Amino acid sequence: MQKSASNENISKKIIKTITGNPIVFLLIIAAIVVGFIKDNFFSWANLSNLISNTAVRFLIALGVSGCLITKGTDLSAGRQVGFAAVIAGILCQRGDYNGRLWKFVPEMNIFLVFAIVIAMGLIWGLINGLIVTKLHVPPFIATLGTQTIIYGISLVISDAQPIGGFQRLYTTLINGRIGSTRGFHLPYLFFVAVIFGVVFWFIYNKMRHGKYMYAIGGNEVAAEVSGVNTTRTLIRIYATAGIMYAIAGYLLAAKSGGASASMGQGYELEAIAGCTIGGVSTTGGIGTVPGILVGVLVFELLKIILQFLGVNPYYNYVVQGLVIVLAVSLDIRKYIAKK
């Protein structure tokens, strides 16, 4: 008797998980179907591709998640990625490369470049945070403004030209992998994503900063009255986001073997979509790191499915847009029903 009761409970839980995350389950089913009708879908190469694409997007989504959980947003994410890619690209060019953009700087250590790029991301994030908290500009408008500024600066710096001729170490390290080339292998980016996932999980669940972030999302006035320094917490959230975009940009330039100002265009929407599909609520105070990972993964899966089905790539935008609207409307429904 008891056993069947607990079985019933488990099956109830499974049904609840599926109905609670319809998009996730629909896409997993779609992936399985596509896997059976298309060769090569279930291949190590495809898996590796999915993992490295997801890894970079996951870092961006982690960055923007803090803004979303506190009822804000960060539309400058994509352009910050592009900016970081441009800076990283320029500074990581080989000393003997003819097309070097900044001939006045010597060839740089790529780890030093990493530090420089992070510092710049931090500055952009601080600027966003200060505009939101000190000038009281709504995050949507504030970051809409800064993303345009950042794009302009990226164009000026790169002279609107593609940047190539990277140091070997830069591209080989970032594109490195463990395991055999043909069989099972894992890109290094996988480990980068895991490390940041763990760090963010720890911050969100085990540190005051994370608790303050959820508190602000749950009720900003109550948080302030409870002694949370909301200004400082919000600035930290936007600054952390800036650092994450910078890291993503640095990795992305090496991953693609080239950089340009338009790199990362639209990534803010993918990141926001990933978060929303993964259960970060636009009404604030809700969102988990595992959820964000699932959301980003599923969104990348969607892109690969469309690619395998041979859908005209222009339609990708249409489908992705629909998924975003669907995800948010399903999220909002949970709260409307309860009122």
Partner 1 sequence: MSEYVLEMIDVSKPFPGVKALDHAQLKLRPGRVHALMGENGAGKSTLMKCMFGIYKMDQGQIRIDGQPVTVSDPMDALHKGIAMVHQELQPIPARTVGENIFLGRYPMKKLLGFIPVIDHKKMYEDTAGLLKKVRMHFDPRQKVGELSVSQMQSVEIAKAVSANCRVLILDEPTSSLTANEVDALFRIIEDLKAENVAIVYISHKMDEILRISDDVTIMRDGCYIGTWEAKELTTDKIITQMVGRELTNLYPKRMNVPGEVVFEVKNFTSINPRSFRNVSFELRKGEILGVGGLVGAQRTELMEGLFGIRSHTTGQIFYKGKELRIARPKDAIDQGIAMLTEDRRGSGIMGVLSVADNISISSLSKYLDYGFAINGAKVEKLVQDNVEKMNIKTPSSKTQIKSLSGGNQQKVLVGRWLANDPDVLILDELTRGIDVGAKYEIYCIIEELAREGKSIIMISSEMSELIGMSDRIMVMCDGRVTGFIDGQQATQENIMALATQFE
> Would you tell me which residues interact with partner 1 (CB under 8 A)?
202, 205-208, 211-212, 214-215, 217-219, 221-229, 281, 283-286
Q: Closest distance between partner 1 and the C-beta of residue 264, in Å?
A: 32
Q: Closest distance between partner 1 and the C-beta of residue 227, in Å?
A: 4
Q: Closest distance between partner 1 and the C-beta of residue 130, in Å?
A: 18
List, in order, residues 6 or more apart from 303 with CB less than 8 Å away: 53, 316, 320
Q: Closest distance between partner 1 and the C-beta of residue 279, in Å?
A: 12
Check if the beta carbon of residue 243 is closer than 8 Å to that of residue 118. Answer: yes
User: Rounded CA gap, 54 and 60, in Å?
Assistant: 10
- Closer residue to partner 1 in complex, CB, 249/284: 284
Provide φ and ψ at 285, rounded to 5°.
Answer: 85, -5
Q: Closest distance between partner 1 and the C-beta of residue 211, in Å?
A: 6
Q: Closest distance between partner 1 and the C-beta of residue 223, in Å?
A: 7
Q: What tokens were used for 295?
A: 């959301």
Write the DSSP symbol of residue 186. Answer: E
- Single out the residue of 13, 56, 64, 21 nearest to residue 295, CA to CA: 21
Q: Closest distance between partner 1 and the C-beta of residue 283, in Å?
A: 8
Q: Pairing relation of β-strands 177-179 and 185-187?
A: antiparallel
Q: What tokens were used for 52?
A: 């490295």
User: Rounded CA gap, 92 and 52, in Å?
Assistant: 21
User: Rounded CA gap, 166 and 188, in Å?
Assistant: 19
Q: What tokens were used for 158?
A: 């790169």
- Closer residue to partner 1 in complex, CB, 71/177: 71
Q: Closest distance between partner 1 and the C-beta of residue 207, in Å?
A: 6
- Single out the residue of 173, 155, 83, 182 nearest to residue 123, CA to CA: 83
- Closer residue to partner 1 in complex, CB, 51/67: 67
- Closer residue to partner 1 in complex, CB, 259/286: 286
- Closer residue to partner 1 in complex, CB, 190/214: 214
- Closer residue to partner 1 in complex, CB, 12/208: 208
DSSP string, 245-267: HHHHHHHHHHHHT-B-TTTTTTH
- Closer residue to partner 1 in complex, CB, 29/207: 207
Check if the beta carbon of residue 195 is closer than 8 Å to that of residue 59. Answer: no
- Single out the residue of 267, 266, 276, 289 nearest to residue 324, CA to CA: 276
Angle, helices 188-206 vs 208-218, to 10°: value is 70
Find where tokens 């006035």 sit.
221
- Closer residue to partner 1 in complex, CB, 119/222: 222
Q: Closest distance between partner 1 and the C-beta of residue 280, in Å?
A: 12
- Closer residue to partner 1 in complex, CB, 41/204: 204
